[in-house]
Amino acid sequence: MEQQSGLSFGHIGIYVADIERQSAFYKNYLDFTETDRGSLAGAHGPVQLVFLSRDPDEHHQIVMASGRPEIIDFNIINQISLRADSLQTLKDFHRRLQDAPVTEIRPVTHGNAISVYFKDPEGNRIELYINTAWYVDQPCRIPAPFQLPADELMAWAEDHARTLPGFRPRGEWRKEMVRRMGLKRF
């Protein structure tokens, strides 16, 4: 699949207050693997680093760095988003999160995606999601009935999306993005 040349997204780094608690959460509840850990000199002393990945081709997808203050007035991370491979996987993580040290678990549909939002142990908003086969104008956020079986939930999401502005197959939306990004091939 063609994409714009020059850059592609690689990983995210976040400051954490309790690196052991945070890394344990991502390993135990989101199935990340610790690929490395160590420390570097920082402006205010040593910085502990933990590298995490779910992809054997990526050394790290998340790097955690010590040094986040325990109390902050505003979390500048809007969200960290992780794509699930299926709706059933998303539902399985939703169920698993019920017993996790997280807050504000919210399953929603965006029309073009189905998501589960929650805050990790240090209050960072995490989104687990799947894309749908259609597109609707954004922004859009509607609570989703995750108690439904996966096939019924997907049917509900599509039925609802069909009532929203801009509904069309994802392929049509992608063609428009290819044109707007100046890419030559579809």
At 121 the pLDDT is 93
Domain count, the chain: 2
Among the residue ranges 4-13, 40-49, 124-133, 177-186, the one predicted with the least confidence is 4-13
Specify the 3-state DSSP secondary structure of 41.
strand
- How many C-beta atoms lie closer than 10 Å to residue 20's C-beta? 12
Other beta carbons within 10 Å of 170: 13
Mean pLDDT of the residues in the chain: 88
What CATH code is carried by the domain that includes residue 32? 3.10.180.10
Digit-coded pLDDT (tens) for 70-79: 778 877 788 8
Q: Which of 94, 108, 105, 106 is nearest to 136 (CA)?
A: 108
Q: Are residues 65 and 96 in the same domain?
A: no
Q: What share of the chain is helix, strand, coil (3-state, %, to 5)?
A: 25, 30, 45
Confidence bin at 41 (pLDDT 50/70/90): confident
Predicted local confidence at residue 182, as pLDDT: 82
Same domain? 44 vs 91: no
Q: Give the end of a domain, one of 27, 48, 70.
A: 70
Q: Where are the beta strands (DSSP E) in the chain?
A: 12-16, 33-42, 45-53, 62-66, 80-83, 103-109, 113-119, 125-131, 134-135, 142-143, 168-169
Same domain, yes or no, for 133 and 92? yes
74 φ/ψ angles, rounded to the nearest 5 degrees:
-155, 130
Residue 143 has pLDDT above 60, yes or no: yes
Are both 132 and 64 inside the same structural domain?
A: no
Instruction: Give the tens place of pLDDT for each residue, 2-30.
Output: 555 555 666 888 899 899 999 999 999 99
Residues 128, 133: Cα–Cα separation, whole Å = 17
Last residue in a domain, options 70, 86, 117 = 70
- Domain of residue 45, residue span: 11-70
40 forms bridges with which residues in the sheet? 47
How far apart CA 137 and CA 114 sit, in angstroms, is: 14
